[in-house]
Structures are given as structure tokens and as C-alpha cells.
Amino acid sequence: MQATFCQAIPPKLPYPSKLSPVYRLPTRAKMISMPERQVSVPDADNSVAAFWDYQFLFVSQRSESVEPVVLRTVDGAIPADFPSGTYYLVGPGIFCDDHGSTVHPLDGHGYLRAFVVDGNSGEVRFSARYVKTEAQREECEGKTGSGRWRFTHRGPFSVLRGGKKILNTKVMKNVANTSVLRWGGRLLCMWEGGNPYELETETLDTVGRFDFDVTDDSNLSSKRGFSGGFWDFAACLLKPILYGVFKMPPKRLLAHYKMDFQRNRLLIMSCNAEDMLLPLSHFTFYEFDLDFKLLQKQEFNIPDHLMIHDWAFTDNYYVAVGNRIKLDVIGSLQALCGMSPMISALSVNPNKPTSPIYLLPRFPEKLFEDRDWRVPIDAPSQMWLLHVGNAFEQRDKKGNLEVQIQASACSYRWFNFQKLFGYNWQSNRLDPSYMNASEEEELLPHLVQVAINFDADGKCHECSVKPLNNWSRPSDFPAINPTRSGNRNTYIYTAAASGSRHLLPHFPFDMLAKLNLSNNSVSTWSVGSRRFIGEPIFVPKGNEEDDGYVLVVEYAVSIQRCYLVVLNPKIIGEAGALVARLEVPKHLNFPIGFHGFWSADC
């Protein structure tokens, strides 16, 4: 069965009413731009073409490539010094079932793609498989031979047309669709609300749910924070409902992990299930060695209603930027009655003009200062943090400490749980207007640099937030050379919007930007007309920070094709930055992925 797309009706009138009509270069950042290819397409910017291009970015792919397929090289070639290894990319694979329901992209079942690169021969083999989670096996009727799908789990962000609505407690379905990790010989696909699923590294066969061994003793575990009093009592009342009725795990494991290459450690983070509904937050951090042996576990209790999607670490701290949320009582009742998605029980909480940043000690016994970690740093900006590129700390000879965070963030005024990716559960379609509606670029996802300065006694005397390199274009998925994680870096790569298309000026992204933090410059590579890109991944090759290659998937929606693109990061912005482009067969064309991972051959 070939790729299929959700049936939707294109708008009769151009959308939205307010759009940024032109692309304006940043006035302060030095910018170099060199598109590798521009394709002239008549009427590419009319509302119908823009609408359908957006839909094809989220095309459902029901086929799996069990046997690897050798990709055809259409531009350039894999260079002889390219490291051998595998680029894994995970994301939702299916959005529409055979019974009239369309789910939000975040609720689509995990579809793992693997690009195996042979550095000696220059050959790239592609395969793709669904992650056979418990929910996937239940909702895919392929086991009966029909090959049909029926969504029975709502998911947190969706409403089903063909399923049970009222008191449908099948909400937290683990779709394993957000991030992928290869660590200690295991391949894991992770989701935001449950344990990961393990797959075979070569065949991509699903092994089963992977449970981290978090058993510990008093030497490994510590618990710090407050006693919640009334709210602890409320949590005790909620737990039987959340765990028993809604089948939520006690610890909500986050999809974003970190790797400390200096110590050869895997870092993961979890929150308590009840934190979603109560004004308290329980953050638990775990550190594992290459054998998945637990090295340490620390729990921090914070009296604030926060949501964390991504986070960071430095040599001595876990860094959590708190997105403030609140319980929406009316939305909760509507969600329980099936009138709206379950996520409508929550909304952003813009009651403060600042953003709380918690610097939580990784190794308390090693800290120089005696600062109370329970007191957050108030960043002078109301920003909703999306993804972290990197964070690091540096101390001068006088003992003064600076902590820097590089991330993508947006405004509370723009962020809306129910409208992410333009999902419209009422019309059962994806509407591009939400992602492209604002004329104020600072409201949209963009890169920021947060700098926090402490004196030798641990007193914070300055915290600043500014656009990274004065780069103001809508951007997300910041990436660095992974060996620099937690340490000072010079370069950061991001997917960005050129703004060249009038009706899709901000999203999907059509440009890769390299930010040089040492000279405040930005250089870009553009993918071309009616073509988009996803998250960039850096493949290290040598000792220099930008010595390697950048991988990114190109989605040529106008011809329904996907390409693996290899770029030379040293000359992005110059002719020849494109090293190779390899074509995925059309019958295996896949929807946009979320997060990927490069695994070098040992």
C-alpha cells in the first residue's frame, strides 16, 4: 500500500488575514546566503498550492520497508571520508484511519526510519518500520489481514470521529514517536509520557517496552525540596485515578535525553503524572553508564505548576526552564465529555512577565557556592521554551560563574496546546494558518541565548535573554556537534524559515542556518521552492568542532519525494555546500520526522 494522505477541503479564500509579506534580513547579524537550487513553479504561492503542500508534509505512510533499499544518488556523492554509521529518524507515520478520524501529529504512531551509510562504498541503505507498541498493535488491524487502521485511543491532543468519545479513558497511548537513541548497544524510541520501546538495531523489529532499572540505594538517591501539605494530599487522591483509570505511569519519562560525553553518561528526566494537574512539580534525574547501570538519581520538588519538554545540563547543573501552565476547569469538563482534546484541560499561564530557570545541582558536594536551588532565576522574558541546543558554564579566576543556554523559544501569546501544527479537531484537518499567522516574528519559535551571571557567593546579579546572534527568523530544532554537549560551543545549526513564500512564510522550514557565535554571523543553505526540511543532525568526523557533515531530510512535497541531504558545515553559505542528495523511492515517501540520532559504527 502506498502513501496516503488525509482527505481535507482546501480553503476557498487565502489565509490567514495577517501574514508577513516579505523576508527581511536581520539588521545586526552578518548573513551569507547561497541557495543550492531554486525551482520555478507557476502559482506556487496561491492558497490552494500552499494548503496542499502543507498537507503532503503530513502524509500518512502505511508501508514498511522490511528489506533495506539502496538509495539512488541524484546530486553529488557520499565522500570517502564520511564515517560509517546509521542515521535514525523517528516521528509519526500515520494520521488518518479508515473510519473517519484524523489524529494530531503528536498522537501519530511512531515510524522509525534508518539510513545506513557505508563510508567505504558510499552506499546508503534505507529501511522503515512501525514501532510495535501496545497501542499500535491494537489500532492497526493488519494482524487480521485487512491492513486497516482504527484509532481507538484518543491520545492527549486528538478527538476521534469514529470512536468512543464520552469517558474514553484510552488517552495516554504510548506511540514512541518523539525521539530515538542508541546507547549501550540498545536502540530506543521514546515518547513524552511513558517508557521507551526497544528495537533491533539492524532489522528494526520491535523487541518490546524497555524499563530503565532505577532501583537504587541511599548512596545513589537523594530527594530535596518542599512538603506540599494540602497538595500532597490532593496528589494522593489523584493517583488512583491517573494510574488506574487513565493508565498513566507514575513517572512521566520525558522524550528528551542528554549525553555527557566527558563522563560517558546517559541523562534522562521524569516528572510525576499528577504534576500535570497540580501546582507542584517533581523532577527526577537519572544518570546511567554504558551498561545502563544507574550511577545516581536525584529528585527535586518545586512548588510551581510547570511543564518541561526539553532541558539541559552543564558540568555541575541540571537546567530546567519552566513553562508555566494552569488547570482549565471548563476545558477539563469538555475533554472528559469528548467535546475537545484532553490537552484542553491545560492552558498556558501568563500571570508573570518572567520565566523561571532552575539550576539544580548534579553534584551538590562539589558546588563552590551555597545558593538555594529552590529559588529560580527569573529570566526577564516570558518565553515558552521548545528545544535546547546546548548549555554550559564557565567560571573566572575570581570565582564568578556564568551559565549560558542556547535554545528555541516562543511567546506565551502565540503558543496554544490545541493548535500545535495547525491541528483542527473540529474540521478534522491541518490548517497552516496557525503556524503562519503572526506578523510579529518575536512571538514565533526562534533561537535565544540566556546568560546568567553569579558572583563567587552564588548571588545572581544579572540574567539576560536575547536573540542568538541577533537572528530573528522563525527557527527550531537547534543542533550542535554532540561531543560539545554541556561544554562551550562555537557553532549551532537550526532549521529556519526563509520567508520567501508569501502564504507559508514561517513554517514549514525551508532553510538551514549555521550560527557562528564567535563572530556573530549567520550563513544559510536554502532547499528550494516547495521543498521543506526537518531537524539537522551533526555527524562528527575530526577534532575541530565543525569538522564533519550535517544531515537533514528534504521533503519535496510538490512531487511527494523525500531526500537525504548531506551538507559540508564548513562552507554553508557558499557554492558547493551540498555534498550529496539521495532519493527515497516514491512508494516509501514518508511524513516529516521529529528527532533523529546519528550512531557511528564502532
Q: Which residues are annotated as a binding site for Fe cation?
A: 309, 387, 595
Cα(303)–Cα(330) distance, integer angstroms: 24
Cα(479)–Cα(457) distance, integer angstroms: 33
Is the torsion defined by CA of 512, 517, 518, 519 positive or negative? positive
Phi-psi region of 47 (alpha: psi -120 to 50; beta: other; left: phi over 0): alpha
User: Per the annotation, where are the binding residues?
Assistant: 309, 387, 595
What the block records as the C-alpha cell of 10 is 482546501
Q: Virtual CA dihedral for 599, 409, 373, 453, nearest 10 degrees?
A: 100
- CB-CB contact of 180 with 162 (8 Å): no
User: Containing H/E element for 448?
Assistant: strand 446-454
Burial 331-345 (b: 16+ CB within 10 A, else e): bbebbbebebbbbbb
Query: DSSP H helical segments within 400-491, as ranges?
Result: none
Cα(488)–Cα(395) distance, integer angstroms: 12
16: Cα separation from own chain's centroid: 26
Whether the ω angle into residue 249 lies within 30 degrees of 0, i.e. cis, is no
Cα(498)–Cα(501) distance, integer angstroms: 8
- Cross-strand partners of 323: 307
Phi and psi dihedrals of 105, rounded to 5? -55, -35
Cα(160)–Cα(165) distance, integer angstroms: 7
- CB-CB contact of 479 with 494 (8 Å): yes
Nearest Cα residue to 310 out of 244, 233, 391: 391
What the block records as the C-alpha cell of 342 is 484532553
Max Cα distance, the chain (Å): 70
What Rg, from alpha-carbon coordinates, does the chain have?
Answer: 23
Cα(288)–Cα(290) distance, integer angstroms: 7
Phi-psi region of 86 (alpha: psi -120 to 50; beta: other; left: phi over 0): beta
Q: Are strands 294-302 and 221-224 parallel, antiparallel or unpaired?
A: parallel
Cα(489)–Cα(468) distance, integer angstroms: 13
Query: What one-letter code names the amino acid at 197?
Result: Y
Whether the ω angle into residue 445 lies within 30 degrees of 0, i.e. cis, is no
Nearest Cα residue to 89 out of 73, 71, 113, 121: 113
Cα(111)–Cα(59) distance, integer angstroms: 12
